[in-house]
Structure 1
Amino acid sequence: MSAPKIAALLGAVGFFGVVVVAIRLGEFPWADYLLDAAFVCLGIAAVIIILHFLIGLWKDFTGSKRRTPLDKLFNERETIHSVGPNTLVTECVRTMSTKKIGALIVLDGERLVGIFTERDALNKVLAAGLEPGKTKVSEVMTKDPYSIPPTTTVGEAMELVTKRRFRHLPIVKNGKVLAVVSSGDLTHWLVKDQMGEVQELVDLAVGR
């Protein structure tokens, strides 16, 4: 049974109880208890209705954010961090550590040729027994990484990182990398100001 139907049922029970008890008040020994129970039903119905209203507003809010094109987020992104294909892994890891980022874009001129991530450093370099100071990033990078156009929505990008387990998605237009969005960026965008929005909805519902 849906929340509105439950609320309607409880509200009807509560209203009927109040009416009956009001009529028979003083004539029925348990009238006070029935009256309290009726008001409890009305209270529960009111809470269910408020929660259903809040959930509906929250779905509309998050749904609109998921439909936001990624190019609307570019102004919030930092400069793209990239390296050339001949850069040594040691330098790449040092850059990632200094900038506190999880991936570097590998560019040949302006053309995207690969992406080097923390997982590449662990699985393809350290676990493989390669020497970071002698290994070029082109030898261990993920070649021709999956990229998306700037018109991709936040929801579509979230679906990609979830289903295909991507942690970083280069955003490319006409062969040029415009930005790199991570799964963390997408999550942050979706929940940004969440507490403030929820409090506003609660205040609206209770009439503060």
Structure 2
Amino acid sequence: MKTISQFLDQSKGPIYSVGPGATVREALESMAQHNIGALLVLDGQSLAGIFSERDYARKVVLKGKSSSDALVQEIMTTKVITIDTRHTIDQCMQIMTDNHIRHLPIVNGHIVLGLISIGDVVREMIAYQKTMIEQLQSYIAG
């Protein structure tokens, strides 16, 4: 099973983030622009939290707050579960399932390296299973 280090090597994309002082509306606009479901909240280089569609729905919409007035730091998730480059895709799936989360920041010490989503994990697991099936078929066909 692929490690997060291998995943990062193959899918080097930008890290989308927002500062804690940004408005919720600014964060939502960025998420819409990049077609993503969550943003890392960075205070300088440090991970301060994560802001997701779930945070928006539960902490802004349901509480009657204004997206233009509320700040990301007021509603972001601050107790963020993170992984490092030694984790495997399989371990990520287990962590996400156990904690009912859809995004895992990838960190090395205090440095943010990226973010993996449940969609990324599912794609990687399907590719792995496809490869295993092909290898088994090849072995059986001999």
Correspondence for 2:13: 78
CA RMSD of aligned residues (A): 1.7
1:148-193 deviation per Cα after TM superposition (whole angstroms, max 9, x unaligned): 2211122221110111112111111120110111111111111127
| Larger proportion of helix | 1
1:70-120 deviation per Cα after TM superposition (whole angstroms, max 9, x unaligned): 111113142110011111111111111110111000010000011000101
Q: Which has the higher contact order (CA 8 A, sep 6+)?
A: 2
1:202 maps to 2:134? no
5+ residue gaps, structure 1, are 1-64
| Larger proportion of strand | 2
Correspondence for 1:184: 119
Larger radius of gyration: 1
Correspondence for 1:61: none
Paired letter, 2:7:
L
Paired letter, 2:96:
V
Paired letter, 1:70:
I
1:69 maps to 2:69? no
Secondary structure in 2 matching 1:86: coil
Give 1:157's match in structure 2, choosing from 62, 67, 92.
Answer: 92
5+ residue gaps, structure 2, are none
1:1-37 deviation per Cα after TM superposition (whole angstroms, max 9, x unaligned): xxxxxxxxxxxxxxxxxxxxxxxxxxxxxxxxxxxxx
Secondary structure in 1 matching 2:29: helix
Identity %: 34
Where do 1:6-155 residues align within 5 Å? 65=1, 68-75=2-9, 76-155=11-90
Paired letter, 1:146:
I
Equivalent residue pairs, number? 141
Paired letter, 1:137:
V
* Cα distance, 1:148–1:193 mapped onto 2, change above 3 Å: closer
User: Does the 8 Å contact 1:87/1:136 carry over to 2?
Assistant: yes
Any runs of at least 4 consecutive aligned residues in structure 1 with deviations exceeding 4 A, and if so which?
193-197
Secondary structure in 1 matching 2:97: helix
* Cα distance, 1:69–1:203 mapped onto 2, change above 3 Å: closer
